[in-house]
C-alpha cells in the first residue's frame, strides 16, 4: 500500500528525532530567573513557562516572537446520529468565518500577535472555492476525504487516510516553522468532533464512555446519554486495539484530529513548543504520546475544558493547565490565551534587572 | 482633629456613591456575546469578564484601552521582629527599581500596555530624591510617615495617619482616572507587609493567625512560626475591634495597605473596574468591603497567591480568581497578567462576527 507507506515513513522519522528536554538549557534559564530582582521562584508557574521553553527549544532564552496557530478542520459522519447541537454545515461556515477573520480565534490570535492557518483535511463541502481574499487566516486545502464515515457503522476512515491526514498536519507545521514560527498553538473545528475525541479517549485510557463524554457545544443531558450510547456502539462495532494508536484514529477518530497528531509530531521533532487547546487537541496529544512518550513534556496544556474527557487526558499526560476559564469552544482559543502568558514569561526573563544591576539587596541568609 | 476629618469626609463621600452593578448594561453585554459566532457561553469566564466590565462601568461595551497599575509602597516597623527574608532597605531599592523600569511589574505592565504609578506613602528612606528621570514608572511622593511603628509594641500608626494614607490613595486613583485610565490594577511593595496583611485578615475574618500566615518572600517554617507569634502578640497588645476597619488598619496595618483602600474606594466610586493582585491587595479589599459591602462585586481577583491568607480573603469576598499561577511576588504582577485576559474579553466582544453577519447556522433546536 504505497499511499500509506510514504507518510508512515515521514512520521516514524519525526517521532524518532524526539528526545528528552534539554536539562542544560533549563538550568541556565533557572539561573537567569534567580538573578532577577525578585525572591527566587516568586513568579511561580510563569517562571516554569520560561524554563519549559528552554527545555523544549534547547535555548535558555528561546523567544516567542512569532507564534502560529494551526486550526485543523474536518467533518464527521457520526453527526448522522444526532450527537451535536449544531448542523454539520457549520464546519464549512466556520472555516469561512476563520478566513474572514470573524471568529473567536481570530480576535484572540490578534490579541497575542499570532498568525492563524486553517488546514481543511476533510470538510464535507469544499471551502476553498467559496472563500475570497481575506485577512483573518490563510487556508490550506489538504483534503483527504469529504469528512469521515459514520463510526457506528464501521471505521471512520481507512488507516491510509488517517496517515495521509497526519502527513498533511506535518507538512503544514513544517512549513510554518520554516517560515519563522517559534511556537505552534493547536486549534480545531469539526461539528461532531467531541464524539470522536471521547471515543479516542475511552479506548486509549480505558475510561468508560460515560466518564469522558460531555455536552459538546450545548446538548442537554438526554442527548448526552444518546451520545454515550453512540460511542459505545462505535467501539463495539470497530473493536479498536488500544495498543495501535493509528488504528484507533482510523476507527473512531476524526481527520482533523489525525492532522493535529501530525502537527504535534512535526513541531516536537523541530524542538518548537506545542501549546494545546482543549479536549479535541488533547485527544490528538494522547494519540501522539502513545506513538512517542517523549512528546508529553514538550506540550503545554493551555486550559482545562469543561468537557469531562479533558481532565482524563490531562491526568493521563501528567499535564497541569495554566488557565482554568471554563472554556468549551475550541478553535485554539485557549491556546491563544496561553500565548499571552508565554510572552509575559519571556518579558520577565529578558527585561528585568538583576540584583547586581539594580543595586537591590539579596535575602538576609541568617534570617531565612 | 482637623487633619483626620477632611480625608474621612472624602472617603465617606466616595463610599456613599458606590451602588450595585448595572444589571441593564450586563444584560446588553450578554445579548451581544450570545449573538456572536460561538455556542452561547462557550468562552466561559472570558465572557463573564466582559459582562463584569459592563456591570461595573454601566456601559455594555466598556473598553480597557488605558489600564493603569498603582503600586503603593511603605515600610513596616514590625520588620524589627525578623519577620521577613529581606532587609527593610529593599523597599526603597525596589521603588527605585520600579521607577527605572527593571522590576517584574514593569516587564508585565509593558506586556499588556499598562502604565505604572508608584505612590510612596511611607518608605523609611525617602526615595524621591535618589531617583532620576526614568521611564519605568512615575513616582508620587505622598509620604505620611517614614514607615509604621512596630505593631508588637503598640499601634502601627494613628487613626489620622491611616486616614491620610487612604486619602493619598484616593487622590492618586482620581488623578489616574481623570487622565484617562479605564481600569486600575493594584500593586504594592513593602518588606514586612505580609505580616500586616495576615494580622488584618486574622482580625477581620476571625481566622487564627496560624491559618492566615505564610512564608512571605521566602522564610522557613521556624521563621513562619515566629511570624505567627509576632502577629498574635500584635493583636493581643492592640486589641483591634473587628467592627472598626479603620481602627484595625491603624493598629496592625501598613501605610501602603491603607493607601490601597483609598485607591479601591475612589476607583469603585468612579465606576472604574478594580483588578486586585494577591494577598496584600486582598487585605486592602477586605478593609474596603467592610467599609462598603457594595465594593466586593466591583473587584476582580486576578490570581490566587500561594499565601494561605489569600484564600481566606477570597472566600470572605466570594471572589474566584481568573489565574492560578502560584505567584507570590506582589507588585501588581498578577493584576497585570489579568489585564491581558480583560483585553481578550473586549476583543471577543467587539471583533467577532455575529451569526447573521457571517452566515453561520445557529443551534438546531430540535436536537438540543
Give the residue carrying C-alpha cell 493584576. B335
Indicate yes or no: CB of A107 within 8 angstroms of CB of B348: yes
Q: How far does the CA of residue A38 sit from the closest CA of chain B (Å)? A: 7
* pLDDT bucket at B8, cuts 50 / 70 / 90: confident
Q: Which residues of B touch A111 (CB under 8 A)?
A: 340, 343-344, 347
| A vs B: CB pairs below 8 A | 216
A253 grid coordinates: 477518530
Q: Which residues of B, range 95-154, sit inside 8 Å of A by Cβ?
A: 96-97, 100, 102-104, 106-108, 110-111
A199 grid coordinates: 471515543
Q: What is the mean pLDDT of residues B322-329?
A: 95
CA quadruple B31, B36, B40, B41: dihedral sign: negative
Q: Which residues of B touch A347 (CB under 8 A)?
A: 107-108, 110-111
- In the prediction, which pLDDT does A342 show? 97
Query: Do B275 and B332 touch, CB atoms closer than 8 A?
Result: no
- In the prediction, which pLDDT does A217 show? 81
How do residues A164-194 score in pLDDT, each as one tens digit?
Answer: 999 999 999 999 999 999 999 999 999 999 9
Indicate yes or no: CB of A360 within 8 angstroms of CB of B104: no
Contacts of A319 (CB under 8 A, 6+ apart): A276, A296, A299, A300, A301
The closest CB to that of B219, out of A100, A103, A367, belongs to A367
Within a 10 A sphere around the Cβ of B124, how many other Cβ atoms? 21
Helix (H) and strand (E) counts for chain A? 14, 6
Give the residue carrying C-alpha cell 493509528. A246
B19 grid coordinates: 451602588
How do residues B160-191 score in pLDDT, each as one tens digit?
Answer: 999 999 999 999 999 999 999 999 999 999 99
* pLDDT bucket at B323, cuts 50 / 70 / 90: very high
Active site residue B331: yes
Q: Which residues of A touch B340 (CB under 8 A)?
A: 111, 340-341, 344
* pLDDT bucket at A1, cuts 50 / 70 / 90: very low
Is A189 near chain B, with CB under 8 Å?
no
Q: What is the mean pLDDT of residues A100-118?
A: 96
| Residue B38 domain-assigned (yes or no) | no
Domain with A326, as residue range(s), is 65-341
* pLDDT bucket at A136, cuts 50 / 70 / 90: confident
Question: Distance (Å, rounded) from C-alpha A124 to C-alpha B91?
Answer: 63
Indicate yes or no: CB of A353 within 8 angstroms of CB of B329: no
B65 pLDDT above the threshold of 70: yes
Q: Which of B47, B161, B307, B331 is catalytic?
A: B331
More confident residue, B119 or B216: B119
- In the prediction, which pLDDT does A213 show? 97
Partnered with residue A186 across adjacent β-strands are A70
Question: Distance (Å, rounded) from C-alpha A97 to C-alpha A118?
Answer: 11
| Residue A356 domain-assigned (yes or no) | no
- In the prediction, which pLDDT does B366 show? 37
B1 pLDDT above the threshold of 50: no
A365 pLDDT above the threshold of 60: no
* pLDDT bucket at B4, cuts 50 / 70 / 90: very low
Query: Do B312 and B285 touch, CB atoms closer than 8 A?
Result: no
Indicate yes or no: CB of B97 within 8 angstroms of CB of A322: no
pTM for this prediction: 0.94
Q: How far does the CA of residue A27 sit from the closest CA of chain B (Å)? A: 20
Give the residue carrying C-alpha cell 469544499. A126
Among A82-91, A277-286, B120-129, B136-145, the range scoring the smallest mean pLDDT is B120-129
Number of compact structural domains in chain A: 1
- In the prediction, which pLDDT does A170 show? 98
Residues B42, B43, B49, CA angle at the centre, nearest 5°?
A: 135
Query: Do B128 and B141 touch, CB atoms closer than 8 A?
Result: yes
Percent above pLDDT 70 for chain B? 94
Q: What is the mean pLDDT of residues A241-247?
A: 98
* 3-class secondary structure, A43: coil
| Residue B7 domain-assigned (yes or no) | no
More confident residue, B3 or B310: B310
- In the prediction, which pLDDT does A3 show? 45
Q: List the CATH number of the domain containing A259.
A: 3.40.50.10210
Q: How far does the CA of residue A324 sit from the closest CA of chain B (Å)? A: 7
The closest CB to that of A218, out of B107, B361, B368, belongs to B368
A85 pLDDT above the threshold of 90: no
Indicate yes or no: CB of B97 within 8 angstroms of CB of A340: no
| Residue A44 domain-assigned (yes or no) | no
- Please give the C-alpha separations between residue A322 and each of A338, A340, B278, in angstroms, as whole numbers: 7, 11, 17
The closest CB to that of B347, out of A94, A97, A111, belongs to A111
The closest CB to that of B363, out of A86, A106, A367, belongs to A86
Q: Which residues of A touch B36 (CB under 8 A)?
A: 104
A368 pLDDT above the threshold of 50: no
| Residue B14 domain-assigned (yes or no) | no
Q: Which residues of B touch A84 (CB under 8 A)?
A: 367
Give the residue carrying C-alpha cell 527566587. A40
> Smallest Cα–Cα separation from A321: which of A257, A288, A278?
A278
The closest CB to that of A347, out of B46, B107, B360, belongs to B107
How do residues A288-299 score in pLDDT, each as one tens digit?
Answer: 999 999 999 999
Local structure of residue A156 (DSSP, 8 states): S
| Residue A15 domain-assigned (yes or no) | no
Q: What is the mean pLDDT of residues A80-99?
A: 93
How do residues A7-39 score in pLDDT, each as one tens digit?
Answer: 678 999 999 999 999 999 999 999 999 999 999
- In the prediction, which pLDDT does B164 show? 97
Q: Which residues of B touch A350 (CB under 8 A)?
A: 107
* pLDDT bucket at B129, cuts 50 / 70 / 90: low
Q: How far does the CA of residue A85 sit from the closest CA of chain B (Å)? A: 5
| Residue A106 domain-assigned (yes or no) | yes
The closest CB to that of B344, out of A337, A344, A352, belongs to A337
Q: How far does the CA of residue A170 sit from the closest CA of chain B (Å)? A: 28
Q: Which residues of A, range 312-351, sit inside 8 Å of B by Cβ?
A: 322-329, 333, 336-337, 340-341, 343-344, 347-348, 350-351
Best mutation target, A353, A354, A362, A366, to test chain B (most B CBs within 10 A) = A353
Q: How far does the CA of residue B30 sit from the closest CA of chain A (Å)? A: 16
Q: Average per-residue pLDDT in chain A?
A: 94
Indicate yes or no: CB of B323 within 8 angstroms of CB of A323: yes
| Residue A216 domain-assigned (yes or no) | yes
* pLDDT bucket at A47, cuts 50 / 70 / 90: very high
Q: How far does the CA of residue B318 sit from the closest CA of chain A (Å)? A: 17
Q: Which of A47, A167, A307, A331 is catalytic?
A: A331
| Closest chain B residue to the Cα of A351, Cα to Cα | B107
| Closest chain B residue to the Cα of A333, Cα to Cα | B43
More confident residue, A268 or B5: A268
Percent above pLDDT 90 for chain A? 90
- In the prediction, which pLDDT does B364 show? 57
φ, ψ of residue A204 in degrees (nearest 5) = -80, -25
Among A48-52, A82-86, A123-127, A182-186, the range scoring the smallest mean pLDDT is A123-127
Question: Distance (Å, rounded) from C-alpha A153 to C-alpha A155?
Answer: 7
Within a 10 A sphere around the Cβ of B174, how many other Cβ atoms? 18
Q: What is the mean pLDDT of residues A83-91?
A: 91
| Closest chain B residue to the Cα of A96, Cα to Cα | B358
Best mutation target, B33, B88, B90, B127, to test chain A (most A CBs within 10 A) = B90
Indicate yes or no: CB of A104 within 8 angstroms of CB of B322: no
- In the prediction, which pLDDT does B85 show? 87
Amino acid at each position: 500500500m504505497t499511499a500509506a507507506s510514504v507518510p508512515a515513513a515521514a512520521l516514524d522519522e519525526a517521532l524518532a528525532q524526539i528526545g528528552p528536554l534539554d536539562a542544560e538549557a533549563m538550568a541556565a534559564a533557572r539561573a537567569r530567573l534567580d538573578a532577577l530582582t525578585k525572591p527566587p521562584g516568586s513568579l511561580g508557574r510563569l517562571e516554569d513557562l520560561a524554563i519549559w521553553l528552554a527545555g523544549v527549544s534547547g535555548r535558555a532564552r528561546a523567544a516567542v516572537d512569532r507564534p502560529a496557530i494551526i486550526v485543523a478542520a474536518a467533518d464527521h459522519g457520526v453527526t448522522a446520529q444526532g450527537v451535536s447541537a449544531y448542523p454539520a454545515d457549520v464546519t464549512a461556515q466556520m472555516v469561512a468565518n476563520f478566513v474572514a477573520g470573524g471568529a473567536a480565534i481570530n480576535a484572540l490570535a490578534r490579541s497575542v500577535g499570532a498568525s492563524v492557518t486553517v488546514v481543511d483535511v476533510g470538510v464535507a463541502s469544499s471551502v476553498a472555492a467559496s472563500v475570497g481574499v481575506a485577512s483573518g487566516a490563510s487556508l490550506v486545502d489538504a483534503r483527504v476525504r469529504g469528512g469521515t464515515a459514520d463510526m457506528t457503522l464501521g471505521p471512520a476512515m481507512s488507516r491510509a487516510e488517517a496517515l495521509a491526514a497526519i502527513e498533511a498536519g506535518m507538512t503544514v507545521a513544517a512549513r510554518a516553522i520554516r517560515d519563522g514560527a517559534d511556537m505552534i498553538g493547536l486549534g480545531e473545528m469539526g461539528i461532531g468532533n467531541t464524539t470522536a475525541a471521547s471515543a479516542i479517549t475511552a479506548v486509549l485510557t480505558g475510561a468508560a464512555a460515560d466518564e469522558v463524554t460531555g455536552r459538546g457545544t450545548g446538548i442537554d443531558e438526554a442527548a448526552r446519554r444518546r451520545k454515550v450510547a453512540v460511542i459505545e456502539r462505535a467501539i463495539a462495532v470497530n473493536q479498536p486495539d488500544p495498543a495501535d494508536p493509528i488504528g484507533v484514529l482510523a476507527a473512531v477518530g476524526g481527520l482533523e484530529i489525525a492532522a493535529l497528531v501530525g502537527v504535534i509530531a512535526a513541531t516536537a521533532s523541530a524542538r518548537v513548543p506545542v501549546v494545546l487547546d482543549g479536549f479535541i487537541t488533547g485527544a490528538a496529544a494522547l494519540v501522539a504520546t502513545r506513538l512517542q512518550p517523549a512528546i508529553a513534556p514538550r506540550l503545554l496544556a493551555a486550559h482545562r475544558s469543561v468537557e469531562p474527557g479533558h481532565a482524563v487526558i490531562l491526568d493521563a499526560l501528567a499535564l497541569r493547565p495554566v488557565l482554568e476559564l471554563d472554556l468549551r469552544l475550541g478553535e485554539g482559543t485557549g491556546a491563544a490565551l496561553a500565548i499571552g502568558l508565554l510572552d509575559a514569561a519571556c518579558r520577565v526573563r529578558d527585561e528585568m534587572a538583576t540584583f547586581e544591576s539594580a543595586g537591590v539587596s539579596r535575602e538576609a541568609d541568617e534570617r531565612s
